[in-house]
Amino acid sequence: MSDFPFDTFRGIQNGDDATLDDVNVQKITFPDGSTQTEAAGSGSVVTDLEYAGTTLTLKQSGGIDKTATINTGGLPFAFAQTDARTEYVDPYYDNTPLAGSQITELSQTITPTSSSQKVVIHLHLFGEWTTAPYQGAVLFERKIGSGTATLIQPQNAGSRMAIATGFATSGAGGESHTTPEMSNVVYVDSPNTTDTITYVPRLVCRINNSRSFYLNRSVDDTNAEYSERAFSTMTLECKNV
């Protein structure tokens, strides 16, 4: 099979892709899970497939060669990034119907092109809790299509906080005015769907005293070098496995 880029395509799916002399239909499966089917004309069989640039050429035993334009595209990718400075008040773990509070600035959607694809979530949060940052955490909310939103949580947690990750604090973790915390996590989701999926990170904290989380800033936001501002980011990537 000449000039066929196996580094670009997964390969030809047919009964005999070595000789190609006993089939008249070829289906190509691309890395993003999409397919393209080409058939020889009536009375002919496929004798070869060639690829150059974005053109796929199907050679057949009778008649002229057939060509098709290939648009492989890339695997789905989406991101949300913000430097908005938002106060989230009392995002308690026991809030209903879902724990905590949505970080709406980082809500994002992605649509897998194959139900077998994984969705890799990268999240970076910057901000500061008004008290006890070691009691703060992050969860992921997931909604598939028009379905009901649910939380992505570890199983069999009992009465423990079932979270995605916590916050890293500095050596001055007891100082809650000008020492922001960061939270970073990577999660590989298996949604098993080609519907559009909405992911939203959620802030949570234990219920024992009132507190706020200030996104992308320190609690003390004085216009001076001892106060910090930054940005937060969430990326979504579909991956074939």
In the chain, % of residues over pLDDT 90: 52
* Residue partners of 175: CB distance under 8 A and separation at least 6: none
The token pair at 146 is 């028009």
| 9 against 107, higher pLDDT | 107
- Rounded distance between C-alpha atoms, residue 128 and residue 106, angstroms: 17
pLDDT band at 75 (very low <50, low <70, confident <90, very high): confident
- In tens, the pLDDT along 99-155 reads 999 999 999 999 998 899 999 999 999 999 998 888 999 999 999 999 999 999 998
Joined tokens for residue 18: 């070595």
Which pTM value belongs to this model? 0.71
Q: How do residues 18-47 score in pLDDT, each as one tens digit?
A: 333 445 666 666 555 556 666 667 767 777
d(CA 16, CA 23) in angstroms, rounded, equals 7
pLDDT value of residue 80:
96
Residue pointed to by tokens 């005293």: 209
The string of DSSP letters for 179-229 reads: --EEEEEEEEE----SS-EEEEEEEEE-SSS--EEEETB-SS--SSTTS-B
Q: pLDDT-derived band of residue 170, with 50, 70 and 90 as boundaries?
A: low
Predicted local confidence at residue 172, as pLDDT: 61
pLDDT at 62: 75
Q: What's the rounded mean pLDDT across residues 153-176?
A: 83
